[in-house]
Structure 1
Amino acid sequence: MRSVGYLISRKGSSLLIRGYPGTGKTLMALSLIYSHRGDFFYISTRVSPEEILEIYPHLKEEIQRIKILDASKEISLVDATMRRFSKSDEISDFLLSVRYEDKPAFIRALVSLLRDSENPLVIIDSVEAIQESLGREILSDLLELSDEIGFSLVIIVERGEMGREDYLVDGVIELERRIDDERVLRKMRIHKLRGCSIPQPEYLFTLKDGKFRLFEPFSYEIPKESKLFEPLEDPDENRFSSGSEDLDEIFGGGFRKGSSILLEISEGVTRRMYHRFVQSFYLNFLRRGRRVYLIPTLGTDKGEVINEMRPFLREEELKNLIFIEREWGKERLRGEEAVKEADRIYERLVYEERKGSYEDLHVTGVDASYSRYGEECIRVLEEGNAFVQETRGLRIRIAKPGFPFMKELSNLSDIHIKMENFCNVPVIKGEKPKTQYYAMLVDLSEGFPKLRFEKVE
């Protein structure tokens, strides 16, 4: 939104926001008030001033400089404190000149107000509705006034496709709302922003809690002043925490002990994205004195995994991260030989390396398992399920695109989570149980990575 804010900060600039009903055009336009330094006018025929503040109460609570002009009735102007202004009966000679005598009454009143306003921003919502109410075309008048008086103009239109207006304004943004298997997905598409850089053409956004929120592209760097990860307690004696309050809540208050999770990775999801997801589990288990057994996905750098977690753990905790070493991706075992090797691994975990509680985390990159066990991979994974159930641990299986037994793997799992990349933002959805889309965000404000998930709605 920085580029959009820069555009409307220029006097006389114009921005078109288009999209079908329900895409979030009004909320996006109103969200501009947070970055705009100056007076703010909202013109609409669809709702009264009282209704707009009732629908979006955060404007009344947080913003004291918005003025709402009702173009469908006799001039009605209020500010965010609900103080109503009376219509001016005396209009200057300038406004009654030949140049302005054919303008509708609300434009004359608007011009009168704007002349004494400081860096005004005007929103027209929507231009079709206002033109229908007035019985005349008004866009040309508004663009002319914007250029002459020097106010910024935001125009909302009720369509998604390109129109004549696109050629007349400085910026064009399209909002899209898509339903994907009963899940809501929202995208903002930037078609042009004259004189402004456009880092990427599409952005994911949400209207959660009645507010427009744009998700920035995913990025992650270890904080310079890092702190120990603050673990979350288990929700109860029968459930583990993931280390993320949001993730625990999405899946019913934590993850049942003895259960298994399938994390399915879609095309376009980067290693850094899905590593942040499982890292939250790693850190929470390790900081709570448990062990993490890891068969990484093929191509994973063991040293990188360790170094990325070292700033947030004590050294004795980091020693509980145990990599299960085999010839992953090199030698393939077949038939009973594969199952016997899996049995030996679990026996070793029980009898040789572990004392006390077995409530550990087991993470497997299934591409590594498949590279060694081939078609016997599912049998080996079934052995893993039995082991985790018996020891009341938690298993996470990471499946990259192209894994040939995804359906069978989903059937083996108690929870199936799919991660996708929308507009360079990692997004998860529950396939089992079914959930909506949630954008994954990494909060580093406390010196360690804390995963937050925000619903796309």
Structure 2
Amino acid sequence: MLGEPRGSLIVVCGCPGTGKTVYCATVAYSLVSEGKKCVYVSFIEDKDYFFRNMKNFGMDFKKMEEEDRFLFLDIVSPGEAGLQAVTNNILEAIERLNAEMVVVDSFSALEMAFPKKSDVRVFLHHIFSRVVRRMDCTSYVVVEGEEVTTAMPSYIADAVVLLKTRPIEGGRVLREFHIVKTRWGEKDFSPKLFTLHQGFKTFKSYRFVEPRERKRFEPIPDTNDRFSSGVNGLDKILGGGYPKGSVVLWDVGENVPLHAFAPFIIATECNFINQGRLVVVLPTKGVDATFKKKLHEGHIDKEAYGRNLFIVQYTVSVEKLEPYMIEFDPNIEMLQERISSFITHRKREIGEPILVVVGWDMLEHVYDPKGLTQIFNFFVIETKTRGDLMLVVTKPDVKQIETLKDIADVHIKLRMFEGNLVLYCEKPYTQPYIVDFDTDKGFRIPKPIPVK
């Protein structure tokens, strides 16, 4: 709903397949669920098909019809009935049900059924701007195409909604919801992303929300050949989680803040740590060991610092190294030897898989490319040989991104579109997901929602 007054006329326009019918059906179902009544007039679908299709989106209109709260008018051949008969059928249905909402889907189909387009426009003006408003019945009218003024004078409508698809890389598309016009109050006219997954849903712009109380992260068990990412939704996208012995590239785009992508990484780290495994972190730019430690506080046991979690301290911002810190060495070969011997020793002690998290932008900042590539290849081979896991996080200014893409077994991208965090994979190829967050369990759990 747009918050419109009763008796308003809302035009819903868009090209075929943009979700106009699902949008109108979702608004109708929401109102009927609140105890109101609705008439749905369709010139393009019969009732059985509509009921079956909407049931797939979680809307049981058949039940609503049985309870006399919903009436579906199936007028798939309006030309045979005649314009006056169509008008009478709609008005009689509204009066009989005492409906508070009517949907006409679609005006464009009605136009095609009658040769004199001017008659159809007169019909529209008469039935909606006069009769229906007197009955205090809100009207939603579907129009095919993005130029609503070519089908109907824009001054008749109180609000105009436009649904569009937006192509992004790799043949993927996002769905956009635009409010083009409204006659009541101040409205936000910026586009909003939406999904048709389980019905029509728009998304608010991403914002950081901290859990009221941080709680220990409950680990998710692995499968035989995959490590859980710690995020159920991501595991499902990846076919069960990260393959064991794999290198995962987290390709973070412009304007994606740390607190937007960090929960994915922290979830995997906590999932390892709380199963008694070892995690070694080489942080990204702007994150030192002390700050990284704070990101885990409350989610892992205090004893895990210096036992299961170790972080390279690049800066000299601390007077002395804490037990969980690994001292930085400007000589990359020395740092490699230090980390490698440390991992080998700990692996021998605990006998569990190891997670290495690499902030590539920081490594590029402090080391020359040739030596960095050589050392990285060494750790990749070690990861695959031992059956461990490596997460590599990159930012837009990373120079060796193409090399990393080639090496990675899994390639995940995070981007911002219209203020929303969007995730999609190149390896394996996936469609886009809009990322929401759930804080009910004391942890910012990412919830990827498919764009369908």
Corresponding residue pairs, total = 422
Change (3 A) 1:383 1:423: same
Decide which moves more: 258-267 or 130-139. Answer: 130-139
Give the whole-Å Cα distance in 2 for the aligned partners of 1:401 and 1:116: 61
Please give the alpha-carbon distance, in whole angstroms, between the structure 2 residues aligned to 1:120 and 1:374. 69
Moved more, 155-164 or 391-400: 155-164
Kindly tell me: are residues 277 and 61 of structure 1, through their superposed partners in 2, closer, same or farther at Cα, counting changes over 3 Å?
A: farther
Equivalent pair of 1:328/1:372 in contact (CA under 8 Å):
no
Find out whether 1:140 has 2:125 as its counterpart. yes
Query: Could you say if the C-alpha distance between residues 301 and 105 of structure 1 is closer, same or farther in structure 2, counting changes exceeding 3 Å?
Result: farther
SS in structure 1 at match of 2:142:
strand
**What TM-score do the two structures reach when normalised by structure 1?**
0.84
Correspondence for 2:310: 322
Compared CA separation, residues 72 and 429, structure 1 to 2 (3 A): closer
Deviation of the 1:104 alpha carbon: 1.7
1:258 corresponds to: 245
* CA spacing shift, 1:106–1:304, aligned 2, 3 Å: farther
The yes-or-no answer on 1:345 pairing with 2:339 is yes
Shift of the 365–427 alpha-carbon distance from structure 1 to 2, 3 Å rule, reads same
Map Cα deviations across residues 266-293 of structure 1 (whole Å, 9 max, x no partner): 1222222111221221221122122221
Contact residue 78 and residue 110 of structure 2 kept, 8 A? no
Question: Which residue pairs with 1:79 in the alignment?
Answer: none
2:339 counterpart SS class? helix
Equivalent residue for 1:363?
357
SS for the counterpart of 1:448 is: coil
Aligned to 2:325: none
2:386 is the counterpart of 1:394: no
Contact 1:293 1:363 (C-alpha < 8 Å) held by counterparts:
yes
Separation (CA, whole Å) in 2 of partners of 1:295 and 1:255: 20
CA distance in 2, matches of 1:62, 1:364: 54
- How far, CA to CA, are the matches of 1:395 and 1:179 in structure 2? 32
Structure 2 counterpart SS, 1:343: helix
1:291 pairs with 2:278: yes
Q: 2:19 aligns with which of 24, 34, 56?
A: 24
**Any idea what the Cα deviations from partners look like across 1:360-381, whole Å, max 9, x if unmatched?**
2111111100011132332232
SS in 1 for 2:3: helix
1:47 partnered with 2:45: yes
Unaligned runs of 5+ in 2: 318-327
- Higher deviation after alignment, 405-414 or 312-321: 312-321
Q: What corresponds to 1:426 in structure 2?
A: 421
CA contact (8 A) 2:38 2:100 kept: yes
Residue 175 (str. 1) matches residue 163 (str. 2): yes
Confirm or deny: 8 A CA contact 2:18 2:164 kept in the other structure. Answer: yes
Provide the C-alpha distance between the structure 2 equivalents of 1:72 and 1:390, rounded to a whole number of angstroms: 64
Match of 2:73 among 69, 72, 75: 69
- Contact map agreement 1:282 1:292 (CA 8 A) in 2: yes
Q: Which letter does structure 2 place at the counterpart of 1:223? A: P
Give the distance between the partners of 1:169 and 1:429, measured in 2 at CA. Answer: 38
Counterpart amino acid of 1:425? Answer: N
1:106 aligns with 2:86: yes
Given the superposition, is the C-alpha separation of residues 147 and 305 from structure 1 closer, same or farther in structure 2, using an over 3 Å criterion? farther
**1:184 maps to which residue?**
173
Q: Secondary structure at the match of 1:339?
A: helix
Deviations 1:63-89 (A, max 9, x none): 4422111334589xxxxxxxxxxx9xx
Query: Which residue of the other structure, out of 5, 11, 21, is the alignment partner of 2:6?
Result: 11
Q: Distance in 2 between matches of 1:255 and 1:267?
A: 25
1:407 to 372, 396, 402: 402
Q: Distance in 2 between matches of 1:328 and 1:239?
A: 38
CA drift at 1:263: 0.5
**1:56 partner amino acid:** M
CA distance in 2 between counterparts of 1:308 and 1:170 reads 48
Q: Relative to structure 2, which stretch is displaced further, 122-131 or 160-169? A: 160-169
Aligned to 2:54: 56
Distance 2:189 2:206 in 1: 12
Q: Which moved more, 1:366-375 or 1:267-276?
A: 267-276
Equivalent-residue separation in structure 1 for 2:373 and 2:448 (angstroms):
31
The Cα of 1:248 is off from its aligned counterpart by 1.5
**Aligned counterparts of 2:441 and 2:77: Cα–Cα separation in 1:** 51
The 3 A distance-change label for structure 1 pair 35 and 301 is farther
Q: CA deviation at 1:44?
A: 1.5
How far did 1:29 drift? 0.7
Please name the residue that 1:131 is paired with: 111
Distance change in 2, residues 1:216/1:62 (3 Å): farther
Aligned to 1:194: 183
2:43, 2:78 within 8 Å by CA — same for their partners in 1?
A: no
Structure 2 CA distance for partners of 1:198 and 1:380, relative to 1, 3 Å: farther
2: CA distance, partners of 1:303 / 1:25: 50
Preserved CA contact (<8 Å) 2:176 2:194: yes
The root-mean-square deviation of aligned C-alpha atoms, in Å, is: 2.9
Shift of 1:340: 4.0
> Kindly tell me: are residues 190 and 354 of structure 1, through their superposed partners in 2, closer, same or farther at Cα, counting changes over 3 Å?
farther
Tell me the secondary structure at the aligned position of residue 46 of structure 1.
Answer: coil
Partner-residue secondary structure (3-state), 2:175: strand
Deviation of residue 409 (structure 1)? Answer: 0.9
Residues 232/62 of structure 1: CA separation in 2 closer, same or farther (3 Å cut): farther
Amino acid at match of 1:253: G
Q: Are the equivalent residues in 1 in contact too, given 2:288–2:314 (CA < 8 A)?
A: no
Give the Cα separation in 1 of the matches to 2:405 and 2:201: 33
State the partner residue of 2:204.
216
Structure 2 length as normaliser, TM-score? 0.84
Q: CA deviation at 1:419?
A: 0.9
Change (3 A) 1:410 1:74: closer
Structure 1 323/167 Cα, relative in aligned 2: closer, same or farther at 3 Å?
farther
Moved more, 310-319 or 154-163: 310-319
Percent identical residues:
26
Q: 1:40 to 1:303 in 2, by over 3 A?
A: farther
Which region of structure 1 is more displaced relative to structure 2, 440-449 or 407-416?
440-449
**Separation in structure 2 between the aligned mates of residue 15 and residue 106 of structure 1, nearest angstrom:** 20
